[in-house]
Amino acid sequence: MENAKDTFYITLRNRLSTVNPNRTMILRAVTRPGILVEEAEAPVAELPLDVFVLRWTKLDADTQLPSTLTQMTCEIQYATAGTQNNAGLDRGRALEAMDDELLRLLCPSSAQKMNYAQTPASQMGTLIFWSQAVFEPATTVRERMGRVVTVSVFAFQEQGER
Amino acid sequence: MSTAPLTALNAMPPITRRVRAYFAPVDRINRVASVFDPSVSGQFSLSAPPSPWIDLGWIEDFSRKSLSKFSGLTTGSPGVTQFQVKETVDASVSFRFKTWSKLSMALSAGSQHMNLLAPAAGAAGNGSGSKGITPVSLAPSGSTATFLSLNAGGSASFTAGCMVAVDIDYAGQAGFVGTGVSAAYVQSAAAVNNDPDYIRRVTFNVARVTQVTTSGLQLAQPLIGGVPSSTMRVQPVLGFVDREGGDFFQEWSALFVMPGEQGERILFYYPRLQAMGGAEEAATTLVAPIERIALSAAFRALPVTDANDGQQAVCFRSFLPSAMTLI
Among chain B residues, CA nearest to A151? B287
Are B24 and B269 a contacting pair, CB within 8 Å? no
Q: Is B98 on the interface with A (CB under 8 A)?
A: yes
| pLDDT tens for each residue of B163-194 | 999 999 999 999 999 999 999 999 999 999 99
**Cα–Cα distance, B92 to B275 (Å, whole number):** 9
**pLDDT at residue number B135:** 96
**Cα–Cα distance, B174 to B171 (Å, whole number):** 9
Chosen for mutation from A60, A62, A63, A64 (greatest number of chain B CBs closer than 10 Å) is A64
**pLDDT at residue number B215:** 94
Side-chain-side CA neighbours of B31 within 13 Å: the count stands at 4
pLDDT along chain A (162 residues), means of 10: 95 97 93 95 91 97 92 97 91 96 96 94 95 96 95 93 77
**Cα B137 to the center of its chain, rounded Å:** 27
In chain A, which residues have their Cβ closer than 8 Å to the Cβ of B292? 69
| pLDDT tens for each residue of B49-81 | 999 999 999 999 999 999 999 999 999 999 999
**pTM (two decimals):** 0.88
**pLDDT at residue number A113:** 96
**pLDDT at residue number B7:** 85
pLDDT along chain B (327 residues), means of 10: 85 91 95 96 95 94 95 92 92 96 93 94 92 95 96 92 97 94 95 95 97 96 95 97 91 97 95 94 94 96 96 96 87
Are A76 and A151 a contacting pair, CB within 8 Å? yes
**pLDDT at residue number B25:** 94
**pLDDT at residue number B211:** 97
Q: Is the dihedral of CA B29, B141, B230, B117 positive or negative?
A: positive
Are B130 and B124 a contacting pair, CB within 8 Å? yes
Please judge whether B99 and A131 are an interchain contact, meaning their C-beta atoms are less than 8 angstroms apart.
no
Across all residues in chain B, what is the average pLDDT?
A: 94
At how many degrees (to 10) do helices A2-19 and A91-105 cross? 120
Tell me, what's the ipTM?
0.82
| pLDDT tens for each residue of A17-35 | 999 999 999 988 999 999 9
**pLDDT at residue number B327:** 85
| pLDDT tens for each residue of A128-152 | 999 999 999 999 999 999 999 999 9
In chain B, which residues have their Cβ closer than 8 Å to the Cβ of A65? 57-58, 98-99
**pLDDT at residue number A104:** 97
Please judge whether A64 and B18 are an interchain contact, meaning their C-beta atoms are less than 8 angstroms apart.
yes
**pLDDT at residue number B247:** 87
